[in-house]
Chains A and B, each alone.
Chain A
Amino acid sequence: MDQASDGTLLAALERGNSTALTTLLDRHQAVLLRHARALLGEGGAYEDVVQEAFLRLLEKPPAMPEEARGNELLERAHLRSWLHKVTRNLCMDTLRSETRRRAREESVASYDVSRDGRSGGDLAEQLDTRAAVERELAKLPADQREVLVLRLLGERSYKEIAEITGKKIGTVGWLVSEGLKALSASLAPLVDAPAPAGASSVVRASRANG
């Protein structure tokens, strides 16, 4: 079952095959969780959203378009896009209800929510690379975070991302570029790539000469 195409798995799922479900979950859940988390942040709702997305898959699986059938990659792309779209819509619903409630309860906002209270840069923090990456990703604006997650972790193309998010391809490219710019600056200490512009040309030149 591990090697079955997504189309085959969907067909098996329709027949109630639980291995198909497990395989589909294994294949797709991580990146959907990432996607939902990019939109909803930490704190709970995102796992439910992904579970709900899979529930939708059980209830009303998408029909495979004729041209995708039998082509493992197209089937994968099609299903992924569908799952991402459903996940995104559910996230938006969650956010809408949250914001609506917030409008009613504006006065309750008594906590300080400034996000820049961190004392970055101490050794302890840097020890955990993964935590640092998570943190820097979380600092990005949500729309940049979403496209980066879809591109880098979901492996969706710009075109697919545009389709999933309802943005224009140009916007997706711009968001990816901005997001990566910010990340490569904030994660620079963890990457032993050449130092940012300026210093780098010197290093390169000396290496070339040596």
Chain B
Amino acid sequence: MNADTNDFEARGTPNEGDRLHQLLCAVVLGEASADERAEVERALETSPELRAERARLEATIGLVQGSLSDGERLSPVAERELENALARRRPRPWHSRPAFRIAASVLAIGSIGWIASRVYEGRRDVRNEDVAPREQPPERDDEVARLDSVEHKELRALGYLGIDDFAPKSESTSLGFDAEAVNGAVARPAAPARSPGATAGERGEAGAGRIAPEETTALAKAKDAVDPATDRFVGFTSTTDQGRGEAEYRAFKSIEQQTAGSGSPATPGAIVVARSGGAVDVDLREFDANELAAKAVQSDERQLLGELKRDVSGDSTATSLGAGLKAGQARGGRAANEPGAGGDATRGLEKVAADDKQLPATESEKSAELGEELVRRERIEPVDLASERGSQVTVLDNSFVLVPDPKTLEARIDAILADCRRRPNERPRDMFFRFWGDNGYEYPTIDRLSTFSVDVDTASYALARNYLVSGYLPEKHAVRTEEFLNYFKGDVRPPEKATFAIETEVAPSLFGPTADALMLRVAIRGKEILKSERTPVALTFVIDVSGSMEEQNRLELVKDSLRLLVTQLDARDAVSIVVFSNDARLVLPMTSAKNRLAIEQALQPLAPESGTNTDAGLRLGYDQALAHLDANAQNRVVLLTDGVANVGVTDPAAMTARVSEQRRAGIYLNTIGVGMNNHNDTLLEQLADKGDGLCNYVDDAAEAKRALVDNFTGAFQPIARDVKVQVEFDLAQVQRYRLLGYENRAIADKDFRNDKVDAGEVGAGHQVVALYELVPGAGLGDGPLATVRLRWKDPHGEGASEEAHESAHPVTKKSVAGSYQQTSPGYRRSILVAQFAEFLRLSAHASGDSLERLLDESRELARELKDPEFDEFVALVTKSRDLIVARLAQTDPCDRRIDELRRIECLRAELEILRREGEFAAVESRRGELERELRDCLRQRIMLQQR
């Protein structure tokens, strides 16, 4: 951290190797001057070591960016607090305008003084709750009227005084207002979703774990080991190391706030982070009005934040909101009981007013600095309080390590336990998602509609395959069940005339512990378009020729893919090619696709170069496409890349913004990922999503053929856009249901018919499959147990209307098969593929399922299908078995117990919904036992982690 001692210049002449390495870094990162680049280029030509070093640097940069770029976020609570802080700055209603607040505060102070003097005179006791303003309404109105008519410029600052600290009524209003927001914040699931935009409401509603009451005893047995003999999973936990860290951290924070919120002075060991809100609040105990006034000026909002934060973290929002209110009243009361407090407060106000005069409210830099200085000065107290706090910082190797003392440790453990509990008013389904990141069960009595956008991407499956083949398990977020399902060729017969065919099939669930569960498959098949009938395409290829494209012959794979693709094109079509490395250049202007020679001549000499300036490539590609926009053709840019942008604009938001803009101009975007290490799957998927195109992942020639040739019309001929699905479940026949996958494709139920809400595109011949697991209710009746509705618009193009189409399809008793074996091969394939995805996600639902069974059934089906694609699937399942077992074996005992605690909590929620609270007692004793075990276990783990 010591800038000066590390100064390059101060180190004397660096050795040549260091210097060259620095230059190389500068070149790779696009920071070098032309001279420096030339020098490095020369060195690169003569030194194979340096070339290797460059490749390694690029790969490392790609790896770091690829693995760390998927946006960490502030907690939903923190974000909500910021929104509230903003809301407080907006034009205020009359009763909270500064003038009123001044009036009220003057009144409050006056009243306090008045009451104080009465107390002093010993006339009678004043009840704590009865603070002046309410007792003096007429006087107050007069004050308001008087003050409202005067411009007290120097008093304006007092508007921020936070009358709330004195006047209970104000506080109750503001807290009441925020309570809703807080509840909203609490209801938002904490688990990071791939698409951060999706909120709880959109994700769906309630639900609970698949833990039948009779399973309680099974739960009670500690799930301490994977039993390799039976190969059944026990003790699933969703928390990867990363996730666990986050969960603990979040939980830790919440305890911290609780402690701060208890109103007691900072307990050593409890608070780690200085929050002015909390600290000010602590000061209130002492009620130094002078300080309070000073701090309140700059921390009005923060203090409210502090209160909100505490309330959020409390076990019961309602109770602690109430408590907050009482605390506010008590404060006022205490003020009344403090002789002379009113006077102190007044002095405090004067001081603030004086300070404020020194600081004219301008936007100039200087004043900002002054302001910060003031803030710093006023913060002396909080900082000193921080010195009482319970973790110590140790400087070692220029790094800072926080080591908890025993009290902090216990607080952390409390927090982890608290995090395993249901939050106030949390819907079971949200809780489930928070715990495990999987869709939980939903009850039709709570929400009978399930709505989502279609997704025809398949990249997740291809990418997971690449991981598995290389001997790694893909990360949970990279396994998207819906993309696994949709990877496989359609089995439903495409419609002759209509745009879509919908088929539904139901059978008893092959997996899962509940014997009576059913699995519903909804398959939607798009119409096919004959190659002769397709619209012409104008394709602009944007090809990544960065250094890393040299690895695994990626660039050659790209060239081969394009050569294959060109075989599908004819005289109707046109092609142009842009390449990018540190910058972008056009290597083939828009050319008729029948001119194969020109295309080949442009492709052939392409060779890997240097950095990855995706933005420049896309920009030039779009320029090219726009310049040759053909109203009668599908105008499409196709981005082929292996990685993450590292030169120029690399901000995903800026890139997606450009893609959306160009989409409106009529240009689609497809993305094709090649290679593995740097593959920024999420970004490519988002880009394609915004560009209304397909995201493919290509790792070998076979996959390239599949994506570009076999699926040519699917990839380049959309038949419908904004395609949404809504399934309505029958209240009587379905007790609960859960959707497999589509976690980040959820749409709010009410937006199904809101045609402004964007959804996915479907290409010619595509099949979209969704699976629902259902637990039947009273029994199947004659009416449909569910109704599938599909809504879509025509693709863009000549004469396309904005009118949406809708069709409905009932799921009747007729489509329910007696057993899994009696279903269609396509249905069985979907079940097995989805189950594989569940396993790879280490989904909470797959806990207890047998991987061996999946393998047996898959082999069985493979014999029947004789489809090489499915044979490969069987090989992948086989391959993944050891990896999954190894991963489960490393699950530590704490995580297993955390998992079991969470399951118990889900079970409780379920019992509550089913109105079987009487059975709570059965799980309570196990919970107590578990919590004790978990405490011991966590103590060891946290201490170990700190080493």
> Which of A's residues lie within 8 Å of B, judged by CB?
2-3, 13, 16, 18, 21-22, 25-27, 29-30, 33-34, 39-45, 47-48, 50-51, 54-55, 58, 60, 63, 72-73, 76, 93-95, 97-102, 104-105, 108-109, 111-115, 117, 123-124, 126-131, 133-134, 137-138, 141-143, 148, 151-153, 155, 157-158, 165-168, 170-171, 173-177, 180-181, 183-184, 187-188, 190-198, 200-201, 204-205
Contact of B9 among A30, A115, A141, A168 (CB under 8 A): A168
> Which of B's residues lie within 8 Å of A, judged by CB?
1-3, 6-9, 11, 14, 18, 21-22, 24-26, 29, 31, 48-49, 51-53, 55-61, 63-65, 67-69, 71-75, 78-79, 81-83, 85-87, 89-91, 196-197, 240-242, 245, 249, 252-253, 256, 272-275, 301-302, 363, 368, 371, 376, 383, 386-387, 389, 391-403, 405, 472-473, 475, 548, 551-552, 646, 649-651, 653-654, 656-657, 660-661, 676-677, 883, 886-887, 890, 943, 946-947
What is the CA–CA distance of A108 and B392 in the complex, to the nearest angstrom? 8
- Chain A residue nearest to B645 in the complex (CB): A155
Contacts of B548 in A (CB 8 A): 193
What is the CA–CA distance of A22 and B473 in the complex, to the nearest angstrom? 34
Task: Give me 28 A-to-B residue pairs in the complex whose CB atoms sit less than 8 angstroms apart, sorted by A's number.
Answer: A13-B86, A21-B86, A22-B79, A25-B79, A26-B196, A30-B72, A41-B402, A44-B272, A47-B253, A51-B78, A55-B82, A55-B302, A98-B386, A98-B392, A102-B393, A102-B394, A115-B947, A129-B63, A131-B240, A134-B68, A141-B397, A152-B64, A152-B65, A153-B68, A171-B3, A174-B6, A183-B64, A191-B60
A16-B89 in contact given A142-B398, A177-B22 (Cβ < 8 Å): yes
Say how far A120's CB is from chain B's closest CB, in angstroms.
14
Contact A101 B72 (CB under 8 A): no
Contact A29 B371 (CB under 8 A): no
A200-B396 in contact given A55-B82, A114-B947, A180-B61 (Cβ < 8 Å): no
What is the CA–CA distance of A112 and B200 in the complex, to the nearest angstrom? 42
Say how far B184's CB is from chain A's closest CB, in angstroms.
13
Contact of B472 among A104, A127, A137, A157 (CB under 8 A): A127
Contact A148 B475 (CB under 8 A): no
Contact A197 B49 (CB under 8 A): yes
Given A29-B74, A44-B273, 8 further pairs, Cβ under 8 A: A16-B90, A30-B72, A44-B249, A99-B393, A127-B886, A143-B3, A180-B61, A190-B677
Contact A18 B87 (CB under 8 A): yes
- Chain A residue nearest to B387 in the complex (CB): A101
What is the CA–CA distance of A176 and B57 in the complex, to the nearest angstrom? 11
Contact A113 B403 (CB under 8 A): yes
Say how far A162's CB is from chain B's closest CB, in angstroms.
10
What is the CA–CA distance of A152 and B30 in the complex, to the nearest angstrom? 12
Contact A174 B660 (CB under 8 A): no
Contacts of A124 in B (CB 8 A): 886-887, 890
A196-B52 in contact given A18-B83, A30-B73, A153-B69 (Cβ < 8 Å): yes
Contacts of B22 in A (CB 8 A): 173-174, 176-177
Contacts of B25 in A (CB 8 A): 173, 176-177, 180
What is the CA–CA distance of A200 and B51 in the complex, to the nearest angstrom? 9
What is the CA–CA distance of A14 and B656 in the complex, to the nearest angstrom? 25
Contact A173 B398 (CB under 8 A): no
Contacts of B87 in A (CB 8 A): 16, 18
Say how far B598's CB is from chain A's closest CB, in angstroms.
29
Contacts of B83 in A (CB 8 A): 18, 21-22
Say how far A115's CB is from chain B's closest CB, in angstroms.
7
A18-B86 in contact given A42-B245, A141-B397 (Cβ < 8 Å): yes
Contact B396 A115 (CB under 8 A): yes
What is the CA–CA distance of A63 and B86 in the complex, to the nearest angstrom? 18
Contacts of A113 in B (CB 8 A): 394, 396, 401, 403, 946-947
> Which of B2, B72, B887 lies at the interface centre, i.e. has the most chain A CB atoms within 10 A of its CB?
B72
Contacts of B14 in A (CB 8 A): 174
Contacts of A138 in B (CB 8 A): 399
- Chain A residue nearest to B65 in the complex (CB): A152
What is the CA–CA distance of A147 and B219 in the complex, to the nearest angstrom? 48
Say how far B561's CB is from chain A's closest CB, in angstroms.
21
A30-B86 in contact given A174-B22, A193-B56 (Cβ < 8 Å): no
- Chain B residue nearest to A20 in the complex (CB): B86
What is the CA–CA distance of A33 and B79 in the complex, to the nearest angstrom? 13
What is the CA–CA distance of A43 and B59 in the complex, to the nearest angstrom? 29
Contact B551 A171 (CB under 8 A): no
- Chain A residue nearest to B256 in the complex (CB): A44
Contact of A25 among B63, B74, B386 (CB under 8 A): B74
A43-B391 in contact given A127-B472, A187-B60 (Cβ < 8 Å): yes
Contacts of B68 in A (CB 8 A): 34, 130, 133-134, 137, 153
- Chain A residue nearest to B473 in the complex (CB): A127
Contact A3 B887 (CB under 8 A): no
Say how far A99's CB is from chain B's closest CB, in angstroms.
6
Contacts of B71 in A (CB 8 A): 29-30
Contact of B1 among A25, A55, A143 (CB under 8 A): A143
A105-B392 in contact given A130-B242, A168-B8 (Cβ < 8 Å): yes
What is the CA–CA distance of A153 and B61 in the complex, to the nearest angstrom? 10
What is the CA–CA distance of A108 and B55 in the complex, to the nearest angstrom? 47
What is the CA–CA distance of A192 and B642 in the complex, to the nearest angstrom? 13
Contacts of B55 in A (CB 8 A): 193-194
A97-B31 in contact given A30-B71, A124-B890 (Cβ < 8 Å): no
- Chain A residue nearest to B9 in the complex (CB): A170
Contacts of B654 in A (CB 8 A): 72, 76
Top 10 nearest A-B pairs by Cβ distance?
A: A16-B90, A200-B52, A98-B393, A170-B8, A141-B398, A193-B59, A30-B71, A184-B60, A101-B387, A177-B22
Contact A48 B275 (CB under 8 A): yes
Contacts of B59 in A (CB 8 A): 184, 191-193
What is the CA–CA distance of A195 and B52 in the complex, to the nearest angstrom? 8
Contact A27 B8 (CB under 8 A): no
What is the CA–CA distance of A16 and B82 in the complex, to the nearest angstrom? 11
What is the CA–CA distance of A116 and B542 in the complex, to the nearest angstrom? 45
Contact of A3 among B72, B272, B649, B660 (CB under 8 A): B660
Contacts of A60 in B (CB 8 A): 363, 368, 371
Contact A44 B252 (CB under 8 A): yes
Contact B29 A41 (CB under 8 A): no
What is the CA–CA distance of A45 and B887 in the complex, to the nearest angstrom? 31
Contacts of A27 in B (CB 8 A): 651, 653
What is the CA–CA distance of A22 and B82 in the complex, to the nearest angstrom? 9
> Which of B51, B74, B275 lies at the interface centre, i.e. has the most chain A CB atoms within 10 A of its CB?
B74
Contacts of B91 in A (CB 8 A): 16
Contact A184 B650 (CB under 8 A): no
Say how far A141's CB is from chain B's closest CB, in angstroms.
4
Contacts of A170 in B (CB 8 A): 7-9
What is the CA–CA distance of A39 and B676 in the complex, to the nearest angstrom? 30
A171-B7 in contact given A44-B272, A54-B82, A108-B405 (Cβ < 8 Å): yes
What is the CA–CA distance of A148 and B660 in the complex, to the nearest angstrom? 30
A155-B650 in contact given A51-B81, A97-B383, A111-B946 (Cβ < 8 Å): yes
- Chain A residue nearest to B382 in the complex (CB): A97
Contact A43 B402 (CB under 8 A): yes
What is the CA–CA distance of A73 and B394 in the complex, to the nearest angstrom? 40
Say how far A119's CB is from chain B's closest CB, in angstroms.
11
Say how far B619's CB is from chain A's closest CB, in angstroms.
12
Contacts of B394 in A (CB 8 A): 102, 109, 113
Contacts of A101 in B (CB 8 A): 386-387, 389, 392-393
- Chain A residue nearest to B60 in the complex (CB): A184
- Chain B residue nearest to A161 in the complex (CB): B31
Contacts of B393 in A (CB 8 A): 95, 98-99, 101-102
- Chain B residue nearest to A96 in the complex (CB): B383
Contact of B399 among A33, A41, A45, A108 (CB under 8 A): A41
- Chain B residue nearest to A13 in the complex (CB): B86
Contacts of A198 in B (CB 8 A): 49
Say how far A208's CB is from chain B's closest CB, in angstroms.
9
Say how far A158's CB is from chain B's closest CB, in angstroms.
5
What is the CA–CA distance of A93 and B51 in the complex, to the nearest angstrom? 43
